[in-house]
Amino acid sequence: MLSQKQRDYELSVYVPTPAPVPVHIGNKKYLNQSLELKNPREDSVKIALLDLGIPAYYEYMRYPLSNGKVYYPDFITSIYFDGRQVVLEPHSTVSDKGYLKKLNEFINRYNFYLILISNRSHRKLAEQNSDPEKFIDEYWFINNFLNTKDSIKQNSENVKKKLKKLLRNPETEIIKSSDAFLRT
């Protein structure tokens, strides 16, 4: 459980653009079965979160970065790891250093805990000098994390296993109230 001091600190350093829509369970960005996402890989994460009863928002708001760039986190979850709110980012290939630097700037500027989920092995990426662990908080390699409708069920089961492992960590907590977990 976050102490009041930790919550006050997080709110004091968190200065995003105002939320584009009201924050409540009925809003169009709150994760639910009918919410349509961009691709099957994201659908897999959505199903895993819903199956485990973890409240989340999908591409809820934009976060300004340097040089006029913005970042829309895929899944802002109600999970906090070591006092930092967890963002899940499913992605195909992560060998693009520019993308990894963008994620790193987001983490440093807004103090989220970012987990990148991909089908590229960490070893192969390190060999290409694109080691994601140098830029983000955690990297989940899921073998055959494909972007096809046929792989959604298998992908969601693999994501659930990773989430359950994260939730067993004593540094992890879940905030169930939808209004309380999104920092605006």
Query: In Å, what is the CA distance from 36 to each residue of 16, 28, 58, 159?
Result: 25, 10, 10, 19
Domains of the chain: 4-181 (3.40.1350)
Token pair recorded at residue 166: 């994260």
User: How far is it, in rounded angstroms, from Cα 41 to Cα 81?
Assistant: 23
Both tokens assigned to 49: 């979160």
pLDDT for the residue numbered 5: 43
Q: Which of 21, 2, 172, 13 is nearest to 107 (CA)?
A: 13
User: Distances in Å between the alpha carbon of 83 and those of 29, 64, 66, 86?
Assistant: 24, 22, 25, 9
Residue with more model confidence, 85 or 130: 85
* Token pair belonging to 19: 């939320």
The per-residue pLDDT for 89 is 93
The answer, as to whether pTM is greater than 0.75, is yes
Beta strands in 113-170 (DSSP E): 113-118, 138-141
Whether 152 shows a pLDDT value over 80: the answer reads no
pLDDT tens digits, 94-148: 666 778 888 889 998 989 999 998 886 555 555 555 566 678 888 888 887 777 7
Per-residue pLDDT reduced to its tens digit, 25-80: 445 566 656 566 667 788 888 889 989 988 888 888 888 898 888 888 988 988 99
Spatial CB neighbours of 78, under 8 Å, sequence gap ≥ 6: 54, 55, 56, 174, 175, 176, 178, 181
